Structure 1
């Protein structure tokens, strides 16, 4: 009898918990979904203006000064962006300021309007985190609940900006700690991501559709696993290269940011020089393919994420140029996310590898799309599910192989330096539990200087 009563009370407790978090996530989802819809609409208009008025690129250095001034005089700790939100989840303290939302929204639009190479995930996540923190203060939640609500904000922003609600929830859980997924916020994050995506879509926002049309002929003898042995080998090799591309992007971005701040003493000159380098590279290459998001391209002969899914839709080194353009843009003071450029890098690298290995172009582009992202953010599970949400579930085995391999070969690095290590990727790993990627990187650099 006592056991039955305890079980009954436990289910009542679960019901109360879910009801409470449903009521808490609804306002977060509606606000974040609405902000993401506004952001995506503004981003589309800014991109169209830049395409129509090519001379805007020449104002990129001045735009950099404006972004610098905005954060210097209004930003305070908001400039830390995604890393501040992650730090606040790990160790609640100073809080995430609500001013982060208008600042990152406005400066990201400025970056794209004038030709900076950046993405949109960082902006959506920062808006989600700052709005969640604001509601946490209004509702007078304790630190533990604020931490969960911040995770809900991350999930809502990510799920809405890419139209991938399941991925958004998993990303919020997986991105905080390498090697461990904390399920304490599982259902709240899922609800927040789904509701935010629904809200964003209700405004008439449409996400780019990607298709993998390749049809494989199974060569395995295992009834429940349909794959081609030779193609699987090519995917494993590609996964290694996707992970190394993620590593290169992360390290180059951090290196450019560190050295520019160390050697350029007049700080407003950093984005000016960065803008001038972007202009110079654009003229040197004779193309504007590597400016902005890169999802689509007004030039029918240009390179974009969409064209990377077709034969001849990307050059052999398109992925490298996007790495360079984006690392310079973000490393030298402009604002925006890293994820969409990572999609571009992965899709174009996958295109090149398909040509070299004879693999299906659309499949390899799709694998690169998710796997480079998995390596740079250390979120292989979320990225595998992203493949299912974006391309369909028929090739989930290849998605998993590419993402898991890329995750290992990206090493203990990533685009989020506040990400912590829960478990080393290898038993002989250099990282201690609960160490941040920033600490690991600084230790690695100090060893190089010593020798």
Structure 2
């Protein structure tokens, strides 16, 4: 059957090359990726909610607190077992960071199991109480569909990367029913060096995904907002943006510390048990932490402020103003911790959803507190919405995504000015303090790459010494007599020679000018001098594993245009020149920055 399918794919590929332009074909495939991405998002949401409904249907009365204690552990352990036994031959990684790593390394290929494994594992994790979002798994599944289709149709790196981004846009669009935010997310996060023509396929893919998702799973996240914002509250938005920006900084640092803690636990089952039990206790005390948490934000937007304590052990305090504020503060803080615990202990999900919830809680706490203290009269719903934008902008360094996502999922286009102001300030603060988004910071800690702001580093990191090694330089043993090699020296096209010992270990170098002067000056060659007599000892050299950034740093520091290369045993391999490095760099720059399409 596989051979028959492959035959049809080859036949289709041949047909489209004859009858369709490449740009037209990319548009068609982008629409297909969008439809599949919308389908994946709908299946993911439906499956997760089915799991949550199935397990929560038994949690009634006081029994629900006992369910909350063990359900997260069951979800994490089940997820770990699935990965352990069903994805044994492939690496499984959750979140957006692995996608960014693939793109930066010029390998826009994702394992095909991500199309279904991301759905299954995130449904188990989040459906059973894991405090994470479904958007990152949707992005991973959609991106995998895009890159898989690109490979099937034999598309090049840029075209495959574009389809990967189309799949990511479709994932966000389908998950949130927000096509504009999906497209902008792909541009800001996945393709920060995009070219303008790439917008068309992204638009098509994101729009189609939204339509498909809407047809299959038509449950909007939040209510529509039509009331305009009050100009006299402008400075409250500014103050809130500053506070929210610094909280996103705290969010990032907390996430790193918790990931580091669980990273030191090598036993995956022990890690899942510790994480699950910790989550169970937290959710029993703060039921709003269960799953995505959007329902709790919706209730706050509806003005039902006491609902935050309604399903908790502290329900008797739900009408006490100070108790609502304190409990909301604790929920905000614990939500930050719970999300990191979920993802660090073996669960699958994303930080996108929790960022939205955390932002909503920040907006609620700020506006509700100001109103209760009598300092102003703020629209709580409006601040919940701008809080979402602030959190997404700061945490992910995606201010436009934050603005349009919040506006689309709430219909809050009347708040476009406060959304822009708050998102910009939060992004500026987080970027100024941390420098990196929550995705790219993890990769930086792992040493995989630096962010796009330092694109030169990323390009250089992808260039290995072996890629630019030149091994056609003449090599002489130190014991060789110079006159015996006269013709080889004179006819050489190189002006530099490597001098080695009997075991091919590099001893130094000799220059063409130096040797020619000796050859044509008999007085210099009395007693049959050897190359060892004219060898210049080395001040700098590199090995075949030296990072390219370090190679260039040595060249600049010593004002060199070449460096000898040796292996770990100090045996000579060749030379690396600055010209060869720059040529390879230009090739990669053209590959990464070139037009994704020419429309």
SS at match of 1:416: helix
Say yes or no: does 1:337 pair with 2:350.
yes
Q: Is the contact between residue 95 and residue 349 of structure 2 (CA under 8 Å) also seen in structure 1?
A: no
Which residue of 248, 254, 257 maps to 2:256?
Answer: 254
TM-score (norm 2): 0.62
Partner of 1:367: 386
The Cα shift of 1:213 comes to 5.2
Quick check: 1:119–1:341 contact (8 Å CA) kept in 2? yes
1:32 corresponds, among 33, 37, 42, to 37
- Is the alpha carbon distance of 1:435 and 1:326 closer, same or farther for their aligned partners in structure 2, counting shifts above 3 Å? farther
Q: Tell me what 2:451 maps to.
A: 421
**Is this contact kept in 2: 1:122–1:337, CA < 8 A?**
yes
Q: 1:51 to 1:182 in 2, by over 3 A?
A: farther
Residues in 2 aligned to 1:305 and 1:208: alpha-carbon distance in whole angstroms: 9
Q: Give the conservation status (yes or no) of the 8 Å contact 1:371–1:402.
A: yes
Partner of 1:268, secondary structure, is helix
Given that 2:48 and 2:124 are in contact with CA atoms closer than 8 Å, whether structure 1 keeps it comes out as no
Whether the aligned pair in 1 keeps the contact of 2:388 and 2:402 (CA below 8 Å) is no
Match of 1:169 in 2: 183
Residue in 2 that maps onto 1:272:
273
Seen in structure 2, the aligned counterparts of structure 1 residues 203 and 59 have a Cα distance that, compared at 3 Å, is closer
Instruction: Summarize deviations over 1:257-282 as a string: whole Å, max 9, x none.
Output: 122121x2323211110001112223
For 1:184-199, list aligned pairs within 5 A. Answer: 184-199=197-212
Change (3 A) 1:387 1:18: farther
Taking only aligned residues, the RMSD between alpha carbons, in angstroms, comes to 2.4
Q: Structure 1 unaligned runs (5+)?
A: 1-14, 218-227, 297-303, 424-431, 440-451
SS of the residue corresponding to residue 131 of structure 2 reads coil
Q: 2:412 aligns with which of 392, 408, 421?
A: 392
Aligned length: 393
Matches within 5 A, 1:23-422: 23-54=28-59, 56-57=67-68, 58-73=70-85, 74=87, 76-93=90-107, 95-176=109-190, 182-212=195-225, 214-217=227-230, 228=231, 230-262=232-264, 264-283=265-284, 285=285, 287-296=286-295, 304-311=296-303, 312=305, 314=308, 315-316=324-325, 317=329, 318-357=331-370, 358=376, 359-390=378-409, 391-411=411-431, 412-417=435-440, 418=443, 421-422=451-452
> What are the Cα deviations for residues 176-233 of structure 1, in whole angstroms up to 9, with x where unaligned?
377x66535211111100011111112243222323354445xxxxxxxxxx2x4111
3-state DSSP class of the match of 2:180?
helix
Query: Unmatched 5+ residue regions in structure 2?
Result: 1-19, 60-65, 309-323, 371-375, 444-448, 462-599
Q: Look up the match of 1:427.
A: none
CA deviations over 1:382-416 (Å, ceiling 9, x no partner) = 22122332333222110000111111112323331
Q: CA deviation at 1:117?
A: 0.8
Q: Distance in 2 between matches of 1:266 and 1:193?
A: 40
In structure 2, do the counterparts of structure 1 residues 23 and 94 end up closer, same or farther at CA, with 3 Å as the change threshold? closer
How far apart are the structure 1 equivalents of 2:211 and 2:37?
11
Who wins on radius of gyration, i.e. which is larger? 2
CA contact (8 A) 1:65 1:269 kept: no
Runs of 4+ in structure 1 off by over 4 angstroms are 15-18, 432-436
Preserved contact between residue 168 and residue 193 of structure 1 (Cα < 8 Å): yes
Moved more, 164-173 or 348-357: 348-357
Query: Using a 3 Å threshold, how does the CA distance of structure 1 residues 355 and 190 change in structure 2: closer, same or farther?
Result: same
8 Å Cα contact 1:37-1:205 kept in structure 2? no
User: For the structure 1 residues 415 and 49, does the alpha-carbon distance in structure 2 shift closer, same or farther, using more than 3 Å as the test?
Assistant: farther
Pair 157,94 (structure 1): closer, same or farther in 2 beyond 3 Å: closer
| 3-state SS in 2 of match to 1:395 | helix
Find the counterpart in structure 1 of residue 537 from structure 2.
none
Question: 1:413/1:51 Cα in 2 relative to 1: closer, same or farther (>3 Å)?
Answer: farther
Which residue of structure 1 lines up, in the alignment, with residue 518 of structure 2?
none
Higher relative contact order (CA 8 A, sep 6+): 1
Match in the other structure for 1:11: none
Q: CA deviation at 1:81?
A: 4.2
Say if 2:226 and 2:414, in contact at 8 Å, map to a contact too: no
Relative to structure 1, the CA distance from residue 177 to residue 95 in structure 2 (aligned partners, 3 Å threshold; closer, same or farther) is closer
